[in-house]
Amino acid sequence: MSSYVKVLQVNVNRNSSTTENVLQTAIELDIKVLVVQEPWVITGDNNRKYRSIIHSSYFQILPNYGTLRPRTLVYIARELQASLASNSPSDPDCLIIDLSLGALKMQLINFYNTIHPEDPNSILTILREDILPTTLYNSSLLLGDFNTHHP
């Protein structure tokens, strides 16, 4: 296996057709990791298990948090080895995954920086305690929507 992988990062603005289009584009461009902010999600049952659009070429990893609508998600090509990182925060707006590319181990951090409208005490993601790891892997990639256009 090669020690590089194509990654695409996109905010789909909670839109299912945009999600489907991005998944199709990812297939056409041989993207192996699709990093999404503001994913279109649905709940699977009453205990608020979320999921997004299922695609046969990818599996999805959602944040380590189930009570608020997740605003980060990662699609991983089925031939890759990846999992939710043990240091992934319990937060719907930040997701850390461990990715193995042969001998190379890396972490991908998917970040959506804003307040959460479902939480009246919410503050900007970047200001939340313990949101980002204090130590990064030598091979780490921070991706996201940092909403720098907001004051």
Q: What CATH class is the domain 7-145? A: alpha beta
Query: What are the residue boundaries of the structural domains of the chain, listed by start?
Result: 7-145
What pTM did the predictor assign? 0.92
22 sits in which H/E element: helix 16-28
Residue type for position 151 = P
pLDDT in tens, 29-88: 999 999 999 999 998 665 568 899 999 999 999 998 878 899 999 999 999 999 999 999
pLDDT of residue 80: 97
| pLDDT tens digit sequence for 101-124 | 988 899 999 999 999 888 889 999
| The pLDDT value given to residue 64 | 86
pLDDT computed for residue 102 by the predictor? 87
Amino acid, single-letter form, for residue 35: V
Residue 18: pLDDT over 80: yes
Q: Give CA torsion, residues 128, 73, 110, 37, to 10 deg.
A: -80
Are the beta carbons of 39 and 70 closer than 8 angstroms?
yes
The tens digit of pLDDT for each residue in 130-148 reads 898 888 888 999 999 998 7
